[in-house]
Amino acid sequence: MSLVFRSGSTDVNHTRATSEQVAALLPNARLTRPPWGDNEWNERSAARAGGVGEGLFVGWPTLAPVLQDWAQEVL
């Protein structure tokens, strides 16, 4: 089983339709929401351009529990 994280509705580079199509094309794929808000990438990008904030990928460690749960389920 594959795990596909749904893109945010505000993501113009990786549209929600794209993530939904990827999930539809993969056998037994599960489409799930990422563990951060819909506008996280835009907010972090804007803060980074202004020289503030923690960086674009600071929220990525929150993926660990989601990925661990998925791995325990499918492996």
pLDDT of residue 48: 73
At 25 the pLDDT is: 97
Domain containing residue 69: 3-74
Number of domains in the chain: 1
Entry pTM: 0.80
Q: What is the pLDDT of residues 3-60, one digit of tens each?
A: 999 998 888 888 899 999 999 999 999 999 999 888 888 888 887 776 677 778 888 9
Residue-level pLDDT at 10: 85
Q: Give the per-residue pLDDT at 30.
A: 95
Q: For 54-70, what is the mean pLDDT?
A: 91
Distance (Å, whole) CA 73 – CA 60: 21
What are the residues facing 31 on neighbouring strands?
Answer: 4
Alpha helices in the chain (DSSP H): 16-25, 40-49, 63-74
